[in-house]
């Protein structure tokens, strides 16, 4: 059964200004950024960190909302993206100096050690991320970070989710410079939900995705990970596949748009936020079974 309203937001990558604008414009939060929406499920699709400068502020708000949203009969779901997984393994190549400094405990600290400790085993952020999901399903709608690997077509949502969390727990304590025998479930483009981009081979991919959706009684797979620089959601497979990453993490390069997916009353809308203007367009996805 679907929640009354689902709001899904793609890869934020530390873009706090975009994050704030989206949630205030959709009236999910009040002017103090406290959760305010009734009967709403938020799904943040992963990749909160890296590239932008303020991932800590976004994570802290998501943590707060997970605690307070249930008071409004709502819930906040955060998925693990490939950038969360990389940081949990100590690979911080895409973290800006400004982002790292945001994790500093003292004004004169560069923040590097605090940033590393937060994401690594036993860190405050690492432990919270272990409690988040790799993939989640609400009725016929299934959310993951990257494309669903073709080899996953006969697997269940629960099996995939358990594997992701299990392999992070088993391997993430290794030294940060160790690239030998990293688990394929977390670092392979062919075998990892957080890295896969196989939808580029549309015909083969759609057949596998349809098999997966039938196996899990689903109608639509919604993901992020592959940025759409024209600011429009990518729809494939007659509306069975929907990618909602619109490159919000690349605003400092002059590309991308601020967007959110809203599913409500049997319809799906792409909301776009630009300055003071808010627009929406109906998304051609398979809503026949919602």
**Tens digit of pLDDT for each residue in 4-37?**
899 999 999 999 999 999 999 999 999 999 999 9
DSSP string over 105-150: SSTT--SHHHHHHHHSTT-HHHHHHHTSBSEEEETTEEEESSPPPG
pLDDT value for 289: 54
Domain boundaries defined on the chain: 5-282
Helix-strand-coil split of the chain, %, nearest 5: 35, 20, 45
- Which residues are bridge partners to 261 per DSSP? 8, 270
Burial of 83 (0-12, 13-18, 19+ CB in 10 A): buried
Model confidence, pTM? 0.94
Q: CA-CA distance, 271 to 2, in Å (whole number)?
A: 20
pLDDT exceeds 90 at position 276: no
Task: Confirm if 59 and 24 have CB atoms less than 8 A apart.
Answer: no
**Segment 36-91, tens digit of pLDDT:** 999 999 999 999 999 989 999 999 999 999 999 999 999 999 999 999 999 999 99
Assigned CATH for 5-282: 3.60.21.10
Distances (CA, A) of 208 to 3, 85, 113, 186, 214: 27, 25, 43, 20, 10
- Which residues are bridge partners to 235 per DSSP? 242
Helix, strand or coil, per DSSP, at residue 202: helix
* Pair type for strands 135-138 and 141-144: antiparallel
Q: Chain-centre distance of CA 271, in angstroms?
A: 17
């Amino acid at each position: 059964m679907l929640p009354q309203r689902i709001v899904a937001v793609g890869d934020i990558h530390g873009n706090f200004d975009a994050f704030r604008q989206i949630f205030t414009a959709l009236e999910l939060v009040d002017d103090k950024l406290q959760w305010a929406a009734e009967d709403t499920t938020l799904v943040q699709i992963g990749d909160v960190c890296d590239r932008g400068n303020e991932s800590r502020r976004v994570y802290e708000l998501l943590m707060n909302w997970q605690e307070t949203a249930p008071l409004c009969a709502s819930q906040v779901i955060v998925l693990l993206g490939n950038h969360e997984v990389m940081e949990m393994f100590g690979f911080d190549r895409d973290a800006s100096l400004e982002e790292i400094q945001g994790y500093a405990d003292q004004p004169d600290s560069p923040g590097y050690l605090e940033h590393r400790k937060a994401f690594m085993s036993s860190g405050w952020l690492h432990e919270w991320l272990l409690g988040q999901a790799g993939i989640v399903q609400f009725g016929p709608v299934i959310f993951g970070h990257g494309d669903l690997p073709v080899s996953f077509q006969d697997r269940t949502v629960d099996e995939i989710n358990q594997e992701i969390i299990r392999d992070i727990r088993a391997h993430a304590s290794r030294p940060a410079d160790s690239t030998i025998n990293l688990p394929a479930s977390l670092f392979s483009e062919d075998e990892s939900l957080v890295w896969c981009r196989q939808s580029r081979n549309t015909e083969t991919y759609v057949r596998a995705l349809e098999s997966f959706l039938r196996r899990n009684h689903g109608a639509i797979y919604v993901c992020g990970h592959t940025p759409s620089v024209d600011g429009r959601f990518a729809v494939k497979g007659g509306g069975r596949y929907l990618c909602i990453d619109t490159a919000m993490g690349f605003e400092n390069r002059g590309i991308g748009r601020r967007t959110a997916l809203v599913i409500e009353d049997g319809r799906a809308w792409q909301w776009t936020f630009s300055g003071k203007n808010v627009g929406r367009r109906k998304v051609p996805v398979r809503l026949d079974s919602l």
